[in-house]
């Protein structure tokens, strides 16, 4: 290699990509875990809706097949509704945390600056030349004194 930093850059870049892939993989695993649990809950709701429909028909509680059909068709959509609701709640929670963090940062008192504003003054020297002088810090010697005194 004509540049000695190429191998160091490659290894650092590879480490960053590996860390990103580990985080992304964890995100995918968590999303799949959530999807499986939500589908399981949705399937339980569908099963119990169908079971109660059969039991209520046998016991004579509900005589209309339309009501049974509507209850089962609503139960079929419960998985999508659960998925949407959980994702929206987590998105709202993430946004609220961001707002709280911004509020905390805006209400944090600022630190005093270590750098003080440089003071300058202009005075006339003996030959009536304008001679600037600059004071960098208080109690420090004046710098650039008699800058234009050519004599």
pLDDT at site 15? 94
Vertex 78: Cα angle to 75 and 82 (nearest 5)? 160
Give 61's pLDDT tier (boundaries 50, 70, 90): confident
Domain match, 84 and 134 both = no
Are 79 and 15 members of one domain? yes
Tell me, yes or no, whether 86 and 135 share the same domain.
no
Q: Determine, yes or no, domain membership for 138.
A: yes
33 shares its domain with 85: yes
Residue 42 and residue 82 in contact, taking contact as beta carbons nearer than 8 Å:
yes
Rounded CA gap, 55 and 117, in Å?
Answer: 84
Do residues 56 and 77 both lie within one domain?
yes
Q: Do 126 and 83 belong together in one domain?
A: no
Q: Indicate if 99 and 141 belong to the same structural domain.
A: no
Choice among 43-47, 93-97, 116-120 with the minimum mean pLDDT: 116-120
Residues sharing a CB contact under 8 Å with residue 119, sequence separation 6 or more, in sequence order = 134, 135
Closest Cα partner for 67 from 58, 81, 57? Answer: 57
> 146 and 83: one domain?
no
pLDDT over 80 at 146, yes or no: no
The overall average pLDDT reported for the chain is 79
The parent domain of residue 121 ranges over 115-151
pTM of this structure? 0.55
Q: Judge contact between 62 and 68, C-beta under 8 A.
A: yes
Question: Does 84 lie in the same domain as 130?
Answer: no
Residues 102 and 127 in one domain: no
Higher per-residue pLDDT: 57 or 48: 48
Residues 69 and 128 in one domain: no
In angstroms, what CA-CA distances link 58 with 51, 62, 129?
Answer: 11, 9, 113
- For tokens 């630190």, name the residue: 111
């Amino acid at each position: 290699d004509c540049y000695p930093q190429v191998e160091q850059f490659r290894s650092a870049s590879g480490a960053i990509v590996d860390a990103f892939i580990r985080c992304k993989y964890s995100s995918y695993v968590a999303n799949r875990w959530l999807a499986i649990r939500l589908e399981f809950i949705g399937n339980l709701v569908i099963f119990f809706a169908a079971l109660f429909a059969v039991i209520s028909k046998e016991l004579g509680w509900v005589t209309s097949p339309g009501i049974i059909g509507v209850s089962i068709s609503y139960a079929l959509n419960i998985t999508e509704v659960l998925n949407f609701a959980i994702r929206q709640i987590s998105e709202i929670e993430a946004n609220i945390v961001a707002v709280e963090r911004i509020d905390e940062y805006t209400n944090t008192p600022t630190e005093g600056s270590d750098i003080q504003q440089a003071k300058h003054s202009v005075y006339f020297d003996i030959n009536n030349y304008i001679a600037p002088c600059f004071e960098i810090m208080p109690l420090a010697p004046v710098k650039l004194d008699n800058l234009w005194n050519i004599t």
